[in-house]
Each structure stands twice: as structure tokens, then as C-alpha cells.
Amino acid sequence: MERKEGYIEVTGGKVWYNLVGEGNKEKTPLIVLHGGPGNTHDPLQSALHVLADERHVIFYDQLGSGNSDRPTDDSLWKTERFVEELMDIRKALDLDEVHILGHSWGTMLAAAYLIDRKPAGVKSVIFSSPCLSAERWKQDADQFLAQLPEDVQQTIARHEEQGTTDSKEYQDAMKEYYSRHVCRIEPLPAVMVESRPKGNKDIYMKMWGPSEFCPTGNLKTFDYTPKLHEINIPSLFVCGRYDEAAPESTQYYQSLVPDSEFHVFEKSSHVSYLEETEAYVEVVRAFLRKADTK
């Protein structure tokens, strides 16, 4: 399969992109927004590259992580700049019409882009394991934490209170949560293990916090639920049954977007695209095909 990769100049440096798919495709391209903040495109591409048999699929590493430049100016790590980055990428690649798939933090980026900028030419959006209210995410996380063994709960609480979340004990306790609600495959898929060193913990800490269940960064007040009704394009919300993006919350977000759709993958958690790849691709493909006709 043909791949075209390169770099695009954005505020703060250059971002790396990979456009997958042969020749001129008739169907509208898909651009994929990875999670984090500070993660990489690799896990998503490992699953979603197959969609390039019908359309061009664009993966990119957001500034600061993966194959992109890694500036040290932490004033760059804010939602508004990542929104501008997405605008720059669309412009540089002549993506006049596009579908968007955002995963996890990528759904926050997608919502901010669609609602704040009202961009032309976006034919549909997929919110995959969404976080559209940090407060609601934290409430769900607290419920999940309460289901962990008592000693694990105490370890997490103690280190968060003492500000020692970089300790090995906290990291080990974190794994208990992650193995239930982030990725239930054991051992972890190779692509997750291999991409981890390419991530950027500084961005994650600045924007989110020390762990998935402890938002202390500049996203901790993020809440686009009052504005979701402004999204007026075909929209699909998906998550896993055991997802940290809880099905109840995902369905609540979906209920706020007119004429949107909702799907739960019954055997997976936060990375449904790796845990149930075939089913995930099938649902996404069917949705995109339908959105192409609207």
C-alpha cells in the first residue's frame, strides 16, 4: 500500500504525517487524531490502515511526540494550539473535504475544532472512547477506582496526596486500573509497548496529569457538553464495555448531538481498535460509507 509521509510547519515546529492509500481515491479522506495528550499515531495506524483500501487515511503525530519535533516550550501545550495545528495540516494537504476520527484526547481536540472553529468541509466525525467533560471522566474514574483492591486504592490515594505520583509504587498500582479499563490484552500489544517511549510525558502531565484518573493539568476544566448540540454533521460515538470512557457517559454525550449514533464493543476497554480490531473497523467503515452519501 502506498504511503506518503513528510513534515508540516506549525506553530512551535514541524509535525510528521503519513498519508496512506493508493492513487486518487473517490471517497472522502479520513484524518485520525491520536490520544494522549502526548501519545503517538502508531497504535491507531496499526488497526486503521486497512481503511485505506477505499479512501486516503491521514495519520500524524501531534507536535511534541512521535516523529514530530519536540520543542521544550510548555506554553505550546494547550488545546487551542493543537486545534490550529489540525487546521494547518488540512491546509497543507489540501483536505477540502474530510472525515475526522478522534480517540480519547483526540475527541477533545475534535470537539474544540468543530465547535470553536466551525470548519467547512468536515463530512462526519467519530468520537472514539470520548472525554468531553473532564469532571464527568473523573467521576467515572472514581467509581472504577472504588472497585480496585483496597490496598491498591490506598496506595493511589496516599501518593496523590503526598505528590509522589512518580514513585514505582504508584506506577504499579496504576497498572491495576489500566489492565481493567485501558487495555485488557495481556501481554500488552507490541505496538503499544513500542510506541510508549516515543510519547511525551511532559505534555501529558502539563495538559492532563500524573495518571488517567487524576486530571490536574489544563484540561481538568474541559467541558464541551453544553455546546455539543452545535455539531450538525453525521456523528458516531463508540467505546468499549469496560472503557474508562464509560458507556453511560459516552451515550450521554451522544444524546446531546442531534441525529448521532452510538456503539459499544462488548469485549473491550479503551483501545477497542486493538482489542476488537475487526469489529471496530467494520463499524467505522460502515459509518464512513454512509456519511459519504450525505
| Residue positions annotated with a catalytic role | 104, 243, 270
In the chain, how many H helices and how many E strands?
11, 8
Residues in the chain: 294
Residue 150 burial by CB count (10 A; 0-12/13-18/19+): exposed, middle or buried? exposed
Q: Which three cell numbers stand for residue 167?
A: 514513585
For 226, residues 6+ apart whose C-beta sits below 8 A from its C-beta are: none
Q: Can you list the alpha helix ranges (DSSP code H) found in the chain?
A: 42-48, 79-92, 105-117, 134-145, 150-162, 168-181, 190-195, 201-207, 247-255, 272-275, 277-292
Which strands form 261-265's sheet, in the order they lie side by side? 3-10, 13-20, 57-61, 30-33, 98-103, 122-128, 235-240, 261-265
